Each structure stands twice: as C-alpha cells, then as structure tokens.
Copies of this chain bind each other. A is one copy, B any other.
C-alpha cells in the first residue's frame, strides 16, 4: 500500500509518499481503507525523532482515521465490510490502510464526511479524558482551558459547555482565535499576550475561582494557574509546550487548597484504556455529536501529497482546530 514515510536523509526530516506492507486484521480487528486522517502535535515530535512510537505499534505516523471497513478479522461482531468507521490508532493513519480493534472504532454519524469524522477521535477523546476521567469535572464548575483554539482546546470548550454546563474561560493569542473560542461556547476568552490571564480571571470571577484547569503550556503558567485555582481544584497537564522548568515553586497552595495536579498523555495508554475511553465518550457525548451540538473543528484539509505543508502549518501554530489529510 501507499504510505507517508519520514525521509530523514536531508537536513530536516520530511514526509514523502512511499510504500509499506498492507496490514492484515488480527482477531477482533478491522482492516479499514482510510479516507481521511488528521495531524497531531505528536506526529511532529515523532517525525523529528523525539517521540518514538509505543512498542509494537506501526512506525507510520497518524493517530486517528476515518474510512471504510474493507475486511473483518476473526471474532469481529460489531462491524461488517462497507461500514464507515472512525477512531483512534496507535499509529499508522498516514496510509491507505490500517487495522483497528473493533472496540476502538465508532460508526461515523449520518451526514458526517470522512474529513469531519477524522477530526474527532484524538482531540475529543483527549479532552473527554482530561475533563471527566482525570479532572473529575462536575456540572456548573468554572473550567479554565488554555490554548482554546488548539484541537484539544476546541473540543474541551464544547464538552465542558455542552456536556457539563460549565463556565468556560479560555486563553488564546489572536483575535481570530479568541473569536473562535467564544463561538464554540467559551464564556470568557483572554488574550494571554495582552493581559495576565490570572489577573483577568480574578477581576471577572474572583479569587480562587477556577475548579479545573487544562494546561498545555507548563512551567510559564504554573504560578498563574495556582493563583486562580479554587479549593479542591484540579490542574491537568496534557503537554508542556512552553517548557517544564519552574523556578522558585511554592507548594503551600497544593496543601492549603487541597489541589490535585496531574499529567497525562493519551498515546501511551494501553489499548484496554483507550477502548474503555472510546466507549465512555460514545455513551456520554456521541448523541451531541450526531445532533451537531458538538462539532469537530477543521482548520484546513490537505491532500496527503502535501502532508509536509500541513505539518509546517501546525509547527507555526497557525491552525484553529484540526488539520486533515485526505486523498489516500
């Protein structure tokens, strides 16, 4: 089959179209003809050699896909050939075919394109995991979502608002991004480049007002996050794009406010965990997706021949929502 491979013979690693063995479905697995896949920041890291894929998984990039079931392995009961499915992959999405455990797959809702479906798994499952499983979100809480215009950000804003009726505060850097966040349901969108977000939150919602923080930035936001967080608050790290080294950290609020600080990534979780997460997400949120109360946010769709161009856009942090590859 055709697949995008990493050419690292030049000065910078680049995506090039090549060939790889077509996978064959094992027990409980579907072989899917991929129609669309989506970019993730982990792809950029993996491409540069900084984020090796989990053991036993495909060296091909691509953590999610949407497509058509081509063949079913033994013991498969939930799907048949021709079904349109989408879901998380441990890797291998940048290709014509991939295998997926049937419990990791979901039916594409009626009226959804492959591109839309491919924009859902990673960001919505990551956001759902962070809000619900890790962050123990409760209805009507105040939730601070950093990088609100990122893929996970746009998913988290919608889930916090539509599923849990929370007051959603978000940060982003540009007018366009701030506007997008508000349109997705955020109540307050703060330009972190223009104001100290913690001061803004304190002035609008009061001190110690944030029950749950989703952070992708890390060290630079530590103190501000800790300042705005409420008693029994939770601070969830999904990435540390701004660095991980904090100077002069005071642990007193951790004790005084009974905080929980937790880090997590989705990719290195077990298949069992991801299957349960998929099933949880499906029962909690898929109805809202089907009704389009919750929407995948797509920034741009690229033909997979232009994957390198798509990567460059994500590197420059220009996208609001997901960047999709199609045309396999």
Q: How many copies does the complex hold?
A: 2
- Would you call A218 an interface residue if the criterion is a C-beta within 8 Å of the partner chain's C-beta atoms? yes
Residues facing B in A227-246 (CB within 8 A) are: 237-240, 244-246
CA distance A239 to B256 in the complex (A): 10
Whole-angstrom distance between the Cβ of A213 and the nearest chain B Cβ: 14
Given the known inter-chain contacts A260-B260, A261-B261, A262-B260, please indicate yes or no for A246 contacting B251, CB distance below 8 A.
Answer: yes
Whole-angstrom distance between the Cβ of A35 and the nearest chain B Cβ: 33
- Would you call A285 an interface residue if the criterion is a C-beta within 8 Å of the partner chain's C-beta atoms? no
Whole-angstrom distance between the Cβ of A253 and the nearest chain B Cβ: 8
Contact A249 B250 (CB under 8 A): no
- Would you call A264 an interface residue if the criterion is a C-beta within 8 Å of the partner chain's C-beta atoms? yes
Whole-angstrom distance between the Cβ of A41 and the nearest chain B Cβ: 13
CA distance A257 to B259 in the complex (A): 19
Whole-angstrom distance between the Cβ of A52 and the nearest chain B Cβ: 13
Contact A262 B264 (CB under 8 A): no
Contact A259 B262 (CB under 8 A): yes
Contact B258 A265 (CB under 8 A): yes
Contact B260 A265 (CB under 8 A): no
- Would you call A219 an interface residue if the criterion is a C-beta within 8 Å of the partner chain's C-beta atoms? yes
CA distance A250 to B240 in the complex (A): 11
Contact A261 B258 (CB under 8 A): no
- Would you call A247 an interface residue if the criterion is a C-beta within 8 Å of the partner chain's C-beta atoms? yes
Contact B251 A237 (CB under 8 A): yes
Q: How large is the interface on A (under 10, 10 to 19, 20 to 34, 35 or more residues)?
A: 20 to 34
Residues facing B in A156-206 (CB within 8 A) are: none
Contact A249 B249 (CB under 8 A): yes
- Would you call A44 an interface residue if the criterion is a C-beta within 8 Å of the partner chain's C-beta atoms? no
Q: Which residue of B lies closest to A238 (CB)?
A: B255
Name A251's contact: one of B240, B255, B257 (CB within 8 Å). B240
Residues of B within 8 A of A256 (CB): 263
Residues of B within 8 A of A254 (CB): 237, 261-263
CA distance A238 to B18 in the complex (A): 56
Whole-angstrom distance between the Cβ of A117 and the nearest chain B Cβ: 28
- Would you call A248 an interface residue if the criterion is a C-beta within 8 Å of the partner chain's C-beta atoms? yes
Contact B252 A240 (CB under 8 A): yes
Interface residues of A (CB under 8 A from B): 218-219, 222, 237-240, 244-252, 254-265
The 7 closest A-B pairs by CB, nearest first: A255-B263, A254-B263, A244-B251, A244-B252, A261-B261, A246-B249, A260-B262
Ordered by A's residue number, 5 sampled pairs between the chains whose C-beta atoms are within 8 Å are: A237-B251, A238-B255, A245-B249, A251-B263, A258-B263
Given contacts A240-B252, A247-B247, A255-B263, 19 further A-B contacts (CB under 8 A): A222-B251, A237-B254, A240-B251, A244-B250, A244-B251, A244-B252, A244-B255, A245-B250, A246-B246, A246-B248, A246-B250, A246-B251, A247-B248, A247-B249, A251-B263, A258-B264, A258-B265, A260-B262, A261-B261
